[in-house]
Amino acid sequence: MKKISFLAIYLIFSHFVWSQNTSNQPKIEYFLSMEQPQTHYFDVVIKLSNFDAKTKQQGFLDLKMAVWTPGSYLIREYAKNIESVSVTSGTSNVKSDKINKNTWRVRLLPTSNEAIVKYKVYANELSVRTSFIDDSHGYLNPASVFMYVNDWKQVPSTINIKPYKEWNTISTGLKPLGDNTFEAENLDILIDSPIEIGTQKVLSFDLKGIPHKIAMYGDVKFDEAKVSNDIKKVCESALSVVGEHPCKDYTFLIHNIGLGGGGLEHLNSTTCQTSRMVYSNDKMYQGFMSLIAHEYFHLWNVKRIRPKALGPFDYENENYTHLLWFSEGCTSFYQNYILRRANMMTPEEYLNAYATEINTIENQPGNKVQSVAESSWDAWIKYYRPNENSRNSTVSYYDKGAVLGGVLNLAILQATKGSKNLDDVMKVLYQEYYKKQGRGFSDEEFQKTVELVAEKSMSDFFQKYISGTETIPYNTYFEAVGMKMTDKNAENTFPYLGADCRTGLKISSVLRDSPAYNDGLNVGDEILQIDGTKPEELTKLISNKKIGDVIEVKVRRDGLEKKYNVTLQRNPIKSLSIEPLENQTSEQKELYKKWLFL
């Protein structure tokens, strides 16, 4: 009885509130067209109407372009591709001034309750972070196409799309309203819903009642049933980590192109770029499935399980967090772990891939300079803006985060005797911060959650390997599962210069503390002679020398010739592999099985 009367009151009240809101709420309608796709332009019209009291009182509206897009931590200045902005109201022109790099201030007419904003967007960069249109298809990353009203971020909008001529398919995670019109509940959802327009093939499958679509752009032949089944297997395996799916539907936008790769995660969709060759090469296909696993797993980790800084977003400035190593790196850890548990990667393949990741960071001098927390924070100015010294001064939060994800997983397995693993950290973060509190977590809350699951203090671990740059004692963790990491190069006596030439004899990288670094060679130097003769190939020449040999290197730098004496050292590059321990105990064997889902 009590419940019913409460519900009745609620319904009357909520209807009343809803009606009130609708009548007073401003309206945003986007109209997108593409009359000349070969010129790489989208045409946008935004109809703004039903102004609220605040807007009427101030007499203007600020329209903005985002400067970056969530998931890709670089200021991209999308306003640079906007042109021919004009504003009208009825038959009158409305004055608009650009007041900074990404803001147009539209001066409203006192008597009018609407403004029509028109502009063109140049879209000729086919990446997952940008927008593109040519005579074969159109792709929009909404952050780079749609202006938004700064004061109306919570206002829902409609997006009406007029595709070019015979283009008959629109694929997006936005809610369809019919007649090529879609709805975005608010600005965050609009920005987070890329759109593919063209003649793409659309496959579909159902996962636990949730419809999934795979929109395939690109002239490529593949086995539709196999690809669809394999992607479904990946999704099923990814779902088993958190165990609960928050989406009503999910859309994969896949660009099959000549060269390129990568993906960008969104709330209920993703855009992935892959080579057309992946369907005819097993190894590349496994890499593609690994990409699918990565992007799909993001629907939990980063889109919902997220640090405080990563939503709601500030689209005009950098959004800083120390936790990209977790949001991105641990997603990279899961991309292979998900394939392993789906049996789409053998234990050997999984171990080899993990050893490769460890090799990457352990052979990077920057791993001893920059912590993974700093790498996360400075993504905007370092990871996304690398230079010739990046290997010496930085570490990738993807690579090291993936390694740390693996180590944390082992640490939890070890501490809980196999009853828990990193999945439990994901589950707790999802339930506590996303579902219960509806917010992101702080650095401290994240560490506390790991400690809660591991049932022990992890402060030493966080201090040394996450905020610090100490070498991870891998074998402490591998021992628990009966494995060990060995360096196949430990005994080598190969001579080493420490300078690489990507093409020809021009130095493209010089590693910190190498002979080349210490004795004066620079990136950009063109090697003319070594010990008086022109070398055909640098690596070959060095391999014929001995440790301690002094070589005379003549280079051209800034148009001048210079000579340097360089003393060759022993090659310090590690070749790490993960191998079984002899005489494994039954506990180690049991934990190994739990670790790799055997």
- Burial category of 337 from C-beta neighbours within 10 Å (exposed 0-12, middle 13-18, buried 19 and up): buried
What is 482-540 written as a DSSP string? TEEEEETTTT---EE--EE-SSTTB--EE-TTSHHHHHT--TTPEEEEETTB--S-HHH
Binders of Zn ion among residues 286 to 345 (CB under 5 A) are 328, 331
Give CA–CA dist 83/88, Å, rounded: 16
Amino acid 436 reads K
Nearer Cβ to Zn ion, position 117 or 330? 330
**Nearer Cβ to Zn ion (299/483):** 299
Total residues in contact with Zn ion, by rule CB under 5 A: 2
Which amino acid is it at 117? V
Q: How far is CA 33 from CA 36, 118, 404, in A?
A: 9, 11, 46
d(CA 118, CA 484): 63
Cβ atoms within 10 Å, residue 110: 7
State in angstroms the smallest separation of the CB of 328 from Zn ion: 5
| Distance in Å, CB of 401 to Zn ion, minimum | 10
Please state the φ and ψ torsions of residue 70, each to the nearest 5 degrees: -55, 140
- What's the closest the beta carbon of residue 71 comes to Zn ion, in angstroms? 7
Q: Could you tell me the smallest distance in angstroms from the CB atom of residue 264 to Zn ion?
A: 8
Nearest approach, Cβ of residue 262 and Zn ion (Å): 9
Q: How far is the CB of 324 from Zn ion (least distance, A)?
A: 9
203: which strand partners?
214
73 vs 477 by CB, closer to Zn ion:
73
> Judged by CB, which is closer to Zn ion: 328, or 378?
328
CB-based burial label for 533 (10 Å; 0-12, 13-18, 19+): exposed
Token reading at 208: 């636990």
Measure Cα distances from 518 to 365, 511, 525 in Å.
14, 9, 15
CB of 301 to Zn ion, least distance (A): 9
CB of 304 to Zn ion, least distance (A): 14
Minimal distance, residue 238 CB to Zn ion, in Å: 13
Question: Cα–Cα distance between 445 and 435 in angstroms, integer?
Answer: 15
Identity of the residue, 170 or 324, whose beta carbon is nearer to Zn ion in the bound complex:
324
Residue nearer to Zn ion on the CB measure, 146 or 333: 333
In whole angstroms, give the CA distance from residue 554 to residue 558: 13
Residues 491-530, mask of contacts with Zn ion (x by CB under 5 A): ----------------------------------------
Binding mask 123-162 for Zn ion (x = CB under 5 A): ----------------------------------------
Question: Which structure tokens are listed for 56?
Answer: 């009427």
Decide: 140 and 129 in contact? Cβ < 8 Å. Answer: no
Task: Give me the least distance between CB of 297 and Zn ion, in Å please.
Answer: 8
In this complex, which beta carbon is closest to Zn ion, that of residue 41 or of residue 398? 398
Using CA atoms, how far apart are residues 125 and 39, in angstroms rounded to an integer?
12
Neighbours of 114 (CB within 10 A): 16
What is the SS3 assignment for 170? strand
| Strand-pair partners of 495 | 570
Q: Residues 225 to 244: which contact Zn ion by CB under 5 A? A: none
Please report which helix (H) or strand (E) contains residue 548, including its range.
Answer: none
Shortest distance (Å) from residue 332 CB to Zn ion:
7
Q: Output the smallest distance, CB 320 to Zn ion, in A.
A: 18
Closest to Zn ion by CB, 395 vs 578, is: 395
- Residue 329 has which token pair? 């790196």
Cβ atoms 48, 28 nearer than 8 A: yes
Of 171 and 331, the one with the shorter C-beta distance to Zn ion is 331
CA contacts within 13 A on the Cβ side of 31 = 9
Rounded least distance, CB 540 to Zn ion, Å: 38
CA separation, residue 365 to residues 392, 396, 491, 512, 513 (Å):
5, 12, 20, 6, 9
**Residue 573 neighbours by CB distance under 10 Å:** 15
State which residue, 119 or 297, has the beta carbon closest to Zn ion.
Answer: 297
Torsion angle, alpha carbons of 176, 180, 181, 187, to 10: 80
Q: Is 192 or 328 the residue whose CB approaches Zn ion more closely?
A: 328
Q: Which is nearer to Zn ion, 321 or 331 (CB)?
A: 331
Q: Which of residues 102 and 331 has its CB atom nearest to Zn ion in the complex?
A: 331
Contacts with Zn ion by CB under 5 A lie at 328, 331
